[in-house]
Structure 1
Amino acid sequence: MVNTKLKVAIYCRLSEEDRNKQSETDDSNSIQNQKSMLLQYSIEQGWEVYNIYSDDDYTGSDRKRPEFNKLLTEAKEHKFDIILCKTQSRFTRELELVEKYIHGLFPIWGIRFVSIVDNADTDNKGNKKSRQINGLVNEWYLEDMSENIKSVLTDRRKNGHHIGAFALYGYKKDPDVKGHLIIDEEAAQVVREVFSLFLQGYGKTAIARMLNDRGIPNPTEYKRIHGLRYQQPKRKNCTLWKYFAISDMLNNEIYIGNMVQGKYGSVSYKTKQNKPRPKDQWYIVEGTHEPIIEREMWEKVQALIAQKVRPFTEGKVGLFARKARCMNCGYTMSSNKQRDGRRYLRCSNRHVAKDACIGSFISVTKLEQAVIKELNKLSTAYLDKDELEQSVTFNNDLRGNKEVLQKEISAYQKKITEYIKGIRELYLDKVKGVITEQDYCGLSKDFSEEKDRLEKLVIDTQKRLDVLERKMQAGDNRRQLIDQYTNLEHLDRETVEKLIDYILVGKKDPVTKEVPVEIHWNF
């Protein structure tokens, strides 16, 4: 007998105003209630639950919700027949998305949208205007809420109240007075030492190395150690002190008792993206909290910083600025001038901690020669080849690369589907009492983390595939591009920007004395 049951995808979202988390791994009560309600409704309607998509701690205007986007992808593939939500606003609060999906793409994809509380149902042609009104009201709600919050926060900033999620390193939030900072003596000792060492003549990189050699955790690691839910940057050696951490500390007025906020502002209430604001738009209020650094020491440090500032090559951008990276750790190499007057590029990781990096090092002149040599080799190879042969080889290479990337994406997606199925089965086992809440939380967390990792791999691989397809559409223009830059004696910044994506520099070979260089071209 053929199974004619309609498949339903359940979507739940926790709104920020009713968040009530018990722990990092638990679903909120709000999410649990939504799931129970929607599962019961599905059973009453005789629908088969395909999957439960749940976004916890996301607003209705956030378009980057992971489960929301997964839902849309699988809706397009028609892996289910119905999308079920508690209310239309749980799906989205944006009128634009209501029109795009609920009234536009879902009917084309053959997907029915149903929300229980506000009676939205795309099978009911008579309530389309109600759905549109709901979308408009939700849009107004978002905008009004954003303006109200912004107004309150601006007022608090102007009055010198700290409104950030975390206090600056060296301080902690006053448990008795909201918006007030008090000194965290353990971290404050490090801050005082940094200012003192700088006045003694130590450079910023040297100070970072000294702190790392003593095993002192940097600000982000310090937060994690002290139990703060601070998202650690996902890169190598992210627990080490670096040049920029010391530099930012030496320039931060908060350490002399002034509250400085508003350095970044939101682009729009519809996005979480922020952009830097000019200094005249910052909110600076003096004397809001106890200083860690005395005014006299602060002024001496600022005077010393001003003396040490030197533009690179009289204000010009360095030839390989932001292009040269360490082959070992991936960090952008910094430029410095030696006593002989020549410029060198080195990986700063070598100097911030023992064994942090191999210490890639090369002179700017030598790297320039390596690039010109490789460019001339490419030019010779292309000019010697028949143009038709080049084009065929080019397209065959790209097609082969495309097939590899498509297979990788397919393999990742297959694994993701398996993890989603596993999470769904775990949840149903928990509801039936087959496994305990504790077992469910542990297992589902492992499954979710692996699923998230694979989804990021899909996104990264898809980006590479998109670049590849653009190259295939544009055709092989490498011959013409390289031909413009034959027989060069010197490079300029414009040429480097146009031709080079990035360069990996390794450590000098002790035998051959050669420095490995790997050039990644823009063509």
Structure 2
Amino acid sequence: MYLEISNPLDYYAALYIRLSKEDENEGQSESVTNQLSMLTAFAKEHKLCVFDTYIDDGWSGTTFDRPSFQRMIADIENKKVNMVITKDLSRLGRDYILTGHYMERYFPENRVRYISLLDGIDTGIESTANDITPFRAIMNDMYAKDISKKIKCVKHDKQRKGLFIGGKPLYGYRMSQTEKNKIVVDQNAAPVVHRIFSMALEGLSCRQIAIRLNAEKVPAPAVYAGLTTGKSGPYSGMWSSERISDMLQNETYIGNMVQGRSKKISYKSKKCVRQPRKDWIVVEGTHEPLIDRETFDQVQILLGSRKNTRSRTYDFLLKGLIFCQECGYPLAVINRKNARGEDCLYFVCRTYQRFTKAGVCTCHSIKVQTVTEAVIEKVREVCEKYVQARELIPMAEKAVEEAANTESREHKTAVLISRIESLTVHLDRMYMDRLSGMLEEQDFERIYQKVKQEREALEQKLSEAERLDWEPQKQRELARALVDSFITGAWTDRELLTGLIERVELTEDKKITIHFRFRQLEAIS
């Protein structure tokens, strides 16, 4: 180390130390004690004023979201620190992109002098060591990547052997006190698992099971394990139909070790993505089962039988735009009979629907048609002053003129004729299949009517296209008709509504609030 500091009184130094689990394998030279001793000796030798020492013990260099590092950054922002000293560049970090950000941009912009002792880096002076800093950062990043690959290889090997390497075992199991990477039955949670499968065999749906467990105040898996649930909300700490469904389909309960259901997208990121079932690592007979195979298979049959009945969805104009104002979650749509016995769609709060007996949120039940009409009327009222017919007519006349182009008309007519002929051939082929017995009478009638209606609709379009009079006066009249049609029906166009509206909120007392995407259109209640 040949670093010299000519004006030490101008600096308030931060001694930064980092040690990860991988670095511990390198020996005592990388220890916190060794780093602290080296940095303290350097500061004393050069008569530097040390503002504070920042130690991140057990933190990987691939992330900069470390507590002590962030505390140091806060002190830099508050002008308490203007010099950062580390043992080497890898202590600052092993992500070459973020390391370069701090070295090349953040520290210079905040007038912070950075010194790496073993690398000879000192941003306060001109040095060849500074010039090769980016290459050192890349090498440190490659080291982290190589370590990540080795760790991942070891983990995969353990998974293939049926050894448990996760953080917390599945609900109903706990870590063995005598054998490493082994799970055993949790006698306190096991009865709840047995009961969940029993209720499923009795025919209760996943939602009904969740409602019953919540009503009985049975702690959900995350609460039982003492895990933090992240963002708090109406679902936090409660059983849900998704949780029950996942448990009922998990082979871990029949003694098979199931791992690899998700993986990190990168060694630099903590974010995980779910893996397709074919990529899961399943090893049979690794631990004591909680559920016998026969019961498990019967439950799978019951769950499979409900898939088709529970996949029904409804299309409505405000789909994806309507939310409960109280809990913030999207409203669900259900089909109910009205007083006259007719099917009618209603909005209901999804939170209330899932956790009815827990008293979370309220029903918010209201007809879909009622809300939709109110929203359309309000949008029309707000936006009509921005839509003037005389401004739209030139655009409509241009569109009609383009449609009147001979080549365009001939092309559209040819497409219609070709499609009609294709459907006619299709009908003839179906008739022959019916005569030969290849097609059942019921199926023939159903498909025949559908194809016939489609052909008639195309023939109607062809007839209208051939009758159109494209004289200039007729074109102007058609343009005005198009404008009138747009102004009358534009507000019921879903594309237009989603472009104008960010979200619609429904309160418990049925009040509607519209939040527009544009500032000049203020939220309307």
Scaled by the length of structure 1, what TM-score is found?
A: 0.67
Aligned residue in 1 for 2:455: none
Separation in 2 of the partners of 1:56 and 1:500?
A: 49
Aligned residue in 2 for 1:344: 346
Closer, same or farther in 2 for the Cα pair 1:500/1:172, shift >3 Å?
farther
Percent same amino acid among aligned pairs?
A: 32
Separation in 1 of the partners of 2:67 and 2:486?
A: 45
Aligned residue in 1 for 2:407: none
The answer to whether structure 1 residue 305 and structure 2 residue 300 are counterparts is no
Please report how far the alpha carbon of residue 329 of structure 1 lies from its aligned counterpart in structure 2 after TM superposition: 2.3
Provide structure 1 residue ranges, at least 5 long, that are not aligned to the other structure: 20-28, 225-229, 388-482, 510-514
Please report how far the alpha carbon of residue 359 of structure 1 lies from its aligned counterpart in structure 2 after TM superposition: 3.2
Please report how far the alpha carbon of residue 148 of structure 1 lies from its aligned counterpart in structure 2 after TM superposition: 0.5
State the AA in 1 paired with 2:365. Answer: F
- Tell me if structure 2 keeps the 8 A contact 1:501–1:521: yes
Closer, same or farther in 2 for the Cα pair 1:521/1:186, shift >3 Å?
farther
Please report how far the alpha carbon of residue 104 of structure 1 lies from its aligned counterpart in structure 2 after TM superposition: 5.2
Separation in 2 of the partners of 1:55 and 1:342?
A: 60
State the AA in 2 paired with 1:501. Answer: E
Q: 2:381 aligns with which of 373, 377, 390?
A: 377
Closer, same or farther in 2 for the Cα pair 1:8/1:160, shift >3 Å?
same
Please report how far the alpha carbon of residue 251 of structure 1 lies from its aligned counterpart in structure 2 after TM superposition: 2.1
Higher relative contact order (CA 8 A, sep 6+): 1
- Tell me if structure 1 keeps the 8 A contact 2:491–2:497: no
- Tell me if structure 2 keeps the 8 A contact 1:501–1:520: yes
Closer, same or farther in 2 for the Cα pair 1:106/1:258, shift >3 Å?
same
1:114-125 to 2 correspondences below 5 Å: 114-124=115-125, 125=127
State the AA in 2 paired with 1:516. Answer: K
Aligned residue in 1 for 2:231: 234
Aligned residue in 2 for 1:173: 175
Aligned residue in 2 for 1:504: 505
Aligned residue in 1 for 2:459: none
Closer, same or farther in 2 for the Cα pair 1:156/1:501, shift >3 Å?
farther
1:102-121 to 2 correspondences below 5 Å: 102-103=103-104, 106-107=107-108, 109-121=110-122
**Larger CA Rg, structure 1 vs 2:** 2
Task: Please state whether the residue corresponding to 1:360 is helix, strand or coil.
Answer: coil
Q: 2:515 aligns with which of 497, 515, 520?
A: 520
Deviations 1:232-270 (A, max 9, x none): 223134111122222222222222222222222222222
- Tell me if structure 2 keeps the 8 A contact 1:379–1:486: no
- Tell me if structure 1 keeps the 8 A contact 2:314–2:333: no
Separation in 1 of the partners of 2:204 and 2:106?
A: 62
Q: Count the aligned residue pairs.
A: 405
Aligned residue in 1 for 2:148: 146
Provide structure 2 residue ranges, at least 5 long, that are not aligned to the other structure: 1-7, 25-29, 392-484, 519-525
Separation in 2 of the partners of 1:169 and 1:154?
A: 23
Please report how far the alpha carbon of residue 95 of structure 1 lies from its aligned counterpart in structure 2 after TM superposition: 2.8
- Tell me if structure 2 keeps the 8 A contact 1:259–1:284: yes
Mean Cα displacement is larger for which, 177-186 or 351-360?
351-360
Please report how far the alpha carbon of residue 219 of structure 1 lies from its aligned counterpart in structure 2 after TM superposition: 0.6
Please report how far the alpha carbon of residue 284 of structure 1 lies from its aligned counterpart in structure 2 after TM superposition: 1.9
Separation in 2 of the partners of 1:175 and 1:87?
A: 40
Closer, same or farther in 2 for the Cα pair 1:153/1:336, shift >3 Å?
farther
Task: Please state whether the residue corresponding to 1:338 is helix, strand or coil.
Answer: strand
Please report how far the alpha carbon of residue 114 of structure 1 lies from its aligned counterpart in structure 2 after TM superposition: 1.3
Aligned residue in 2 for 1:459: none
Task: Please state whether the residue corresponding to 1:519 is helix, strand or coil.
Answer: strand
Closer, same or farther in 2 for the Cα pair 1:139/1:362, shift >3 Å?
same
When the two chains are superposed, the root-mean-square deviation of aligned CA atoms in Å is 3.7
Aligned residue in 2 for 1:360: 364
Deviations 1:36-66 (A, max 9, x none): 7656654554434456555555311114446
Please report how far the alpha carbon of residue 348 of structure 1 lies from its aligned counterpart in structure 2 after TM superposition: 3.8
Aligned residue in 2 for 1:15: 20
- Tell me if structure 2 keeps the 8 A contact 1:172–1:184: yes
Please report how far the alpha carbon of residue 319 of structure 1 lies from its aligned counterpart in structure 2 after TM superposition: 5.3
Separation in 2 of the partners of 1:122 and 1:376?
A: 62
Aligned residue in 2 for 1:58: 59
The answer to whether structure 1 residue 328 and structure 2 residue 332 are counterparts is no
Scaled by the length of structure 2, what TM-score is found?
A: 0.67
Closer, same or farther in 2 for the Cα pair 1:488/1:99, shift >3 Å?
closer
Aligned residue in 2 for 1:206: 208
- Tell me if structure 1 keeps the 8 A contact 2:505–2:513: yes
- Tell me if structure 2 keeps the 8 A contact 1:14–1:31: yes
- Tell me if structure 2 keeps the 8 A contact 1:263–1:278: yes
- Tell me if structure 2 keeps the 8 A contact 1:368–1:490: no
Aligned residue in 2 for 1:186: 188
1:69-468 to 2 correspondences below 5 Å: 71=72, 80-103=81-104, 106-107=107-108, 109-124=110-125, 125-128=127-130, 131-132=133-134, 134-224=136-226, 230-237=227-234, 238-310=236-308, 320=318, 322-339=320-337, 341-350=343-352, 351-352=354-355, 353-380=357-384, 382=386
State the AA in 1 paired with 2:511. Answer: P
